[in-house]
Amino acid sequence: MSAPWIIATAPGKIILFGEHAVVYGRPAIAVPVSQMRATATVARAEPGQGLKLALPDVGEAVELARATADHPLAHVARLTLAAVGLEQPPDWLVTVRSQIPIASGLGSGAAVATALVRALSQAADHPLSASQVSALVFESEKLFHGTPSGIDNTVIAFERPVWFVRGERPLPFAIGRPFTIIIADTGIASPTRVTVAAVRQGWQADPARYEARFDAIATVVQAARQAIEQGNVADLGPLMDENHRLLQEIGVSCRELDRLWAAARSAGALGAKLSGAGRGGNLIALVPPEVEISGRITAALKASGAASVITTIIGAEDTPHGPP
Ligand code: PMV
């Protein structure tokens, strides 16, 4: 086997506003997080070996020819090979790794699939557009998550902030003034599929109650878009708090997330909310510009049980991969 000649990466993501309601047709805002990435490399294997996926993070090695149809990465690899016109799988060893915690609302599944699609298409010398990559990754998201809205594959494949409504073209989204977010991991893995199914059960039992919450979330998301585009960062704090409260009401927060929320707010965060599917995963907190307050919030989150704390600046960089 030779050394890899292709290295492709994809970022993590956070949902700033609108998770869960987005599954029911309301808008959501998501942004890429470039500090944490998934990486896929391609090396040539011995002739006749076929295509093999090495997944060292989960201790798995998958021969494409033998993988079952419901393996999300094997599925997306097959679809990608077809999309780039390779009917016979080439003799390649593709290694996929990720720095993004699994099942914590940071888009790890979509990021590894995006890195894989990018690596395969580059190795085949057949570039795909961001929207082609996004559509392929969506197919693996269905196997990971059941009924995904499509927001994760979109924000990660386009690698830019998106305003997302299910079934519509994602809108590019301007950030009027950069702002700082602290991402605190509860350390509790919470599969999106499970939480989305729980919300669906609640919605089926009492549609009016859930629809009212989803409408209220949509109002928050609209206001947040305006505040972000106009650079009114201070307005975002109360909107995050309100979004968190509504997510509590639909039953997707948990004690640990609420403890981190309280810790961030008493340490000086302008607002905070869970991000992603909830019942674990991450809390995001909006940080005022003063460095000492940011340090205080980080310390408070760690003292309240956060397994890891990352600071990221939203809107500081723009690495678009083509127009949505
Ligand atoms: O993958 P996560 O944990 O960021 O959750 C995705 C957001 C949900 O709205 C809960 C589900 C979806 O498909 O949009």
Beta pairing partners, 179: 314
Kindly report which listed range (58-67, 82-91, 313-322) carries the lowest average pLDDT score.
313-322
Tokens of 216: 């209220």
Instruction: Say yes or no to pLDDT of 1 above 60.
Output: no
Task: Supply the pLDDT for residue 322.
Answer: 41
Instruction: Say yes or no to pLDDT of 289 above 90.
Output: no
| Average of per-residue pLDDT across 212-226 | 98
Residue 87: pLDDT band with limits 50, 70, 90:
confident
User: Tokens 């002739």 appear where?
Assistant: 47
Report pLDDT digits (tens) over 147-205.
Answer: 788 999 999 999 999 999 999 988 878 899 999 999 999 999 998 889 999 999 999 99
Residue 321: pLDDT band with limits 50, 70, 90:
very low
Whole-number Å distance, alpha carbon 147 to ligand 1 midpoint, is 9
Instruction: Say yes or no to pLDDT of 266 above 90.
Output: yes
User: Tokens 């307050």 appear where?
Assistant: 293
Instruction: Say yes or no to pLDDT of 85 above 80.
Output: yes
Kindly report which listed range (14-28, 183-197, 278-292, 309-323) carries the lowest average pLDDT score.
309-323
Instruction: Say yes or no to pLDDT of 324 above 50.
Output: no
Average pLDDT in the chain: 93
Contacts of 103 (CB under 8 A, 6+ apart): 189, 190, 191, 192, 280, 281
- Give SS3 for 174: coil
Contacts of 205 (CB under 8 A, 6+ apart): none
Report pLDDT digits (tens) over 238-263.
Answer: 999 999 999 999 999 999 999 999 99
Residue 317: pLDDT band with limits 50, 70, 90:
low
Hey, what amino acid is at 8? A
Instruction: Say yes or no to pLDDT of 280 above 80.
Output: yes
Name the residue of 106, 152, 283 to mutate for ligand 1: max ligand atoms within 8 A of Cβ: 152
The torsion angles phi and psi of 229, rounded to 5 degrees, stand at -65, -35
Task: Supply the pLDDT for residue 320.
Answer: 43
Q: Check if 240 has its Cβ closer than 6 Å to any atom of ligand 1.
A: no
Q: What is the pTM of this model?
A: 0.91
Measured CA to CA, the distance from residue 278 to residue 185 in angstroms comes to 11
Hey, what amino acid is at 252? V
Q: Which atom, in ligand 1's list, is nearest to the CA of 276?
A: 4
Q: Check if 15 has its Cβ closer than 6 Å to any atom of ligand 1.
A: yes
Share of the chain above pLDDT 90, in %: 85
Q: Check if 149 has its Cβ closer than 6 Å to any atom of ligand 1.
A: yes
Task: Supply the pLDDT for residue 2.
Answer: 77
Name the residue of 14, 164, 165, 192 to mutate for ligand 1: max ligand atoms within 8 A of Cβ: 192
Task: Supply the pLDDT for residue 204.
Answer: 98
Q: What is the DSSP track for 98-159?
A: E-SPTTSSS-HHHHHHHHHHHHHHHHTT----HHHHHHHHHHHHHHHHSS--SHHHHHHHHT
HEC string of 44-87? ECCCCCCCEEEEHHHCEEEECCCCCCCCHHHHHHHHHHHHCCCC
Task: Supply the pLDDT for residue 255.
Answer: 98
